[in-house]
């Protein structure tokens, strides 16, 4: 094998630079092989052919497992050929054995990021720079090429929300298929849209209604929603829990559903979830 622009011989000394660091900018397909391995001699030329043919969609890194046993052990190589795809310094997909070229092409088509995926990544980077107009342009480009691209739809929804273009954000999110609305990010956006769409109300009047009549669950629910819309999450959760405590069936279990929406809005790991989830469970299963 001769090294080319897209095919590299890698060993322990060059692994960090040629695989881990490189995979931060372009996927790296690592082929663990050995000279004595017959299936390796079958698979290797196919991988090299595809790497050169695809011209940069991925880099092929060839590692002789006999000469680099530490790397083989580190990445759980138990049989060769063993092929592992690195992106952002971690293994994201893999296969073992000498697959036919058609199956390897299928593997790569599913595992490698498309051009639209790359535009989404650039859109994320633009968001992080607070270049919302730049991100908007990139997400529109993604969806022009692939209208149902899930990450593109979520990215566009996210930017439209940040720009305060709520009706457009709702229309964009509605294009996300129901099965794709269950990811953490999608549920977070759905919760944001639910609360940001709440009409501006007089919180003081609602608070006065609740103080005057604590059993007015409609006012208590509205007060909780208004508080959450103003990012006063703990105070809003307190109101929703009171609704759950008073009447589980009120407006089709609206109190519990509101609590769950806030959890989705806050995202996994938020300290308020650890504080309020046990309290919700205690009410539900008392």
pLDDT at 25: 87
Share the mean pLDDT of the chain: 92
d(CA 61, CA 26): 12
Q: Do residues 99 and 58 share a domain?
A: yes
2 in a domain, yes or no? no
- pTM, rounded to two decimals: 0.61
Residue after which a domain boundary falls, among 154, 177, 196: 196
Answer whether 10's CB lies under 8 Å from 1's CB. no
Single out the catalytic residue among 10, 19, 30, 40.
40
54 in a domain, yes or no? yes
Does the pLDDT at position 35 exceed 70? yes
Q: Do residues 186 and 207 share a domain?
A: no
pLDDT at 1: 59
Q: Is the peptide bond before 51 cis (omega within 30 degrees of 0)?
A: no
Our separate counts of H helices and E strands in the chain read 14, 5
**Both tokens assigned to 58:** 């991925």
- Using a 10 angstrom Cβ sphere, with 0-12 exposed, 13-18 middle and 19 or more buried, the burial of residue 166 is middle
Q: Do residues 128 and 105 share a domain?
A: no
Residue after which a domain boundary falls, among 165, 196, 227: 196
Instruction: Read off the pLDDT of residues 237-266 as tens digits, 9 standing for 90 and up.
Output: 999 999 999 999 999 999 999 999 999 989
92: pLDDT confidence band, cut at 50, 70 and 90?
very high
Q: Do residues 107 and 19 share a domain?
A: yes
Instruction: Read off the pLDDT of residues 39-77 as tens digits, 9 standing for 90 and up.
Output: 999 999 999 999 999 888 899 999 999 999 999 999 999
Residue after which a domain boundary falls, among 142, 163, 196: 196
Q: 265: domain CATH number? A: 1.25.40.10
Does the pLDDT at position 12 exceed 90? yes
212 in a domain, yes or no? yes
135: pLDDT confidence band, cut at 50, 70 and 90?
very high
155 in a domain, yes or no? yes
71 in a domain, yes or no? yes
Q: Is 176 one of the catalytic residues?
A: no
Does the pLDDT at position 133 exceed 90? yes
Q: Do residues 227 and 255 share a domain?
A: yes
Helix (H) or strand (E) segment spanning residue 86: strand 82-87
d(CA 164, CA 157): 11
Q: Do residues 30 and 77 share a domain?
A: yes
Q: Do residues 191 and 123 share a domain?
A: yes
258 in a domain, yes or no? yes
Domain range spanning residue 151? 115-196
Q: Is 37 one of the catalytic residues?
A: yes
1 in a domain, yes or no? no
Q: How large is the average pLDDT for residues 125-140?
A: 95
Q: Are strands 28-33 and 7-9 parallel, antiparallel or unpaired?
A: unpaired
State the total domains in the chain: 3
Q: Do residues 183 and 226 share a domain?
A: no
Q: Do residues 275 and 238 share a domain?
A: yes
CA dihedral 166, 203, 245, 249 (to 10 degrees): -50
Q: 104: domain CATH number? A: 3.40.30.10
Single out the catalytic residue among 29, 37, 229, 244.
37
Q: Do residues 148 and 130 share a domain?
A: yes
Which are the contacts of 10, defined by CB distance < 8 A and separation ≥ 6? Answer: 18, 19, 30, 61, 62, 63
pLDDT at 200: 64
191 in a domain, yes or no? yes
DSSP for 7-42 reads EEE--HHHHIIIIIIGGGTS-EEEEEE-TT-HHHHH
Q: Do residues 42 and 119 share a domain?
A: no
Cα torsion 245, 254, 195, 149: sign: positive
Q: Do residues 12 and 101 share a domain?
A: yes
Which are the contacts of 234, defined by CB distance < 8 A and separation ≥ 6? Answer: 272, 275, 276
Does the pLDDT at position 203 exceed 90? no
Report the chain's C-alpha Rg in angstroms. 26
């Amino acid at each position: 094998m001769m090294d080319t622009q897209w095919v590299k011989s890698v060993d322990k000394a060059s692994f960090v630079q040629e695989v881990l660091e490189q995979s931060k900018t372009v996927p790296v397909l690592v082929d663990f092989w050995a000279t004595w391995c017959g299936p390796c001699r079958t698979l290797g030329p196919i991988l090299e052919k595809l790497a050169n043919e695809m011209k940069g969609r991925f880099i092929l890194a060839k590692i002789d497992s006999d000469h680099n046993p530490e790397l083989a052990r580190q990445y759980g190589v138990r049989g060769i050929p063993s092929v592992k795809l690195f992106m952002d310094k971690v293994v994201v997909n893999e296969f073992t054995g000498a697959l036919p070229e058609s199956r390897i092409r299928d593997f790569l088509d599913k595992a490698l990021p498309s051009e639209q995926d790359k535009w989404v990544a650039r859109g994320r980077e633009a968001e992080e720079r607070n270049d919302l107009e730049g991100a908007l342009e990139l997400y529109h480009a993604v969806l022009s090429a692939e209208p149902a691209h899930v990450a593109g739809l979520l990215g566009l929804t996210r930017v439209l929300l940040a720009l305060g273009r709520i009706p457009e954000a709702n229309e964009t999110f509605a294009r996300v298929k129901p099965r794709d609305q269950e990811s953490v990010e999608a549920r977070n956006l759905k919760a944001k849209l639910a609360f940001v769409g709440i009409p501006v109300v007089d919180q003081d009047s609602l608070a006065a209604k609740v103080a005057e009549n604590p059993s007015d669950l409609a006012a208590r629910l509205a007060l909780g929603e208004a508080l959450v819309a103003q990012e006063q999450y703990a105070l809003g959760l307190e109101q929703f829990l009171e609704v759950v405590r008073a009447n589980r069936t009120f407006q089709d279990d609206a109190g519990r559903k509101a609590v769950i929406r806030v959890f989705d809005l806050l995202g996994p790991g938020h300290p308020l979830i650890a504080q309020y989830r046990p309290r919700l469970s205690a009410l539900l299963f008392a």
